[in-house]
Structure 1
Amino acid sequence: MYIEAPKKKIAKSNKEVFEFLIDVKNFETLMPQNIDKFEVLDAETFKFALKGMPEIILRLKEQFPNHKVILGAASDKLPFTLTANIEAISDVESEVGLSFEGKFNAMMAMMIKTPITNFMETLSSNLHKID
């Protein structure tokens, strides 16, 4: 299953966006309002739960300075990645595209497609909060 949120332009350099996204505690800023729990487990891992959804643990998997940040599920039970592609538009503006990719059976994919799509759109629309 592959879900892509609309790209967002942000009034920050690609370096500033990258540095914000590799600091996992900053993801709390991007979370939806219906967040039930957010906890940083270590420098590369955080756990969160949205109301009515199970807890998800995300870990920083890969980073390509100023261009890409890849987070992945800490558990192999539900393997997926959340990728932020960062493109510089100018020295003070960049464009960020978020994508979700996971391997799920058809039933699971059907159940989670809408909540994941909504989640991705919320993360994307909250990117303007990067300070």
Structure 2
Amino acid sequence: MTIIESKITVNKPVAEVYEFLADLNNHQQLMPENIYNWSSTEDEAKFTIQNMAKLALKISSRKKNEEIVAIPSEEAPFALELKWSLSDKGDGKTVALHSISAELNMMMKMLASGPLQKLVDHQTATLKKVLEK
């Protein structure tokens, strides 16, 4: 299992960060420009990654103010899980850890690790920007 992570501190209370992330409609704001054909509800999102794949995700679990986990709702190019783990840092600040766990063979790991790392880094940086406006 390949695990790709990115962590950031957001100057917002954990409840506010959780409420934003718990609704997949908000995740479109976190996506890079190479994501298109986005459609979503609170619990599911479908989109296309340019030159790569179509993905359909659904929330598999939520732990209030702690964690949101999404998994594919349709067949994906490889098994994966996207997780946001939140921890209250006090002083109205939240640490957000975004991780993607993916079942990648050696070839896929070489091809996908870089783009997946860029994706999680982009999403955490954008989360901070969007919530701290």
Question: Same fold by TM (over 0.5)?
Answer: yes
* Contact 2:57 2:73 (8 Å CA) reproduced: yes
Percent of aligned pairs with the same amino acid: 23
Partner of 2:39: 39
- Measure how far apart 1:36 and its partner are: 2.2
Deviates more, 1:68-77 or 1:84-93: 68-77
Equivalent-residue separation in structure 2 for 1:130 and 1:31 (angstroms)? 14
Matched, 1:53 2:52: yes
- Measure how far apart 1:13 and its partner are: 0.8
* Contact 2:22 2:42 (8 Å CA) reproduced: no
Count of residue pairs the alignment pairs up: 129
Deviates more, 1:61-70 or 1:27-36: 27-36
- Measure how far apart 1:115 and its partner are: 1.0
Q: How does 1:88-107 map to 2 (within 5 A)?
A: 88-90=88-90, 92-107=92-107
Unaligned ranges ≥5, structure 2: none
CA distances 1:63-91 after superposition (whole Å, capped 9, x unpaired) = 11101111112235421111111011125
1:33 is paired with a residue whose SS is: coil
Q: How does 1:45-84 map to 2 (within 5 A)?
A: 45-77=44-76, 78-84=78-84
Equivalent-residue separation in structure 2 for 1:53 and 1:39 (angstroms)? 17
- Measure how far apart 1:28 and its partner are: 0.6
Q: How does 1:113-128 map to 2 (within 5 A)?
A: 113-128=113-128
Query: Residue type matched to 1:15 in 2?
Result: A
Q: TM-score, normalised by structure 2?
A: 0.88
- After TM superposition, the runs of 4+ consecutive aligned structure 1 residues lying more than 6 A away are none
Unaligned ranges ≥5, structure 1: none
CA distances 1:93-112 after superposition (whole Å, capped 9, x unpaired) = 11101111011222222221
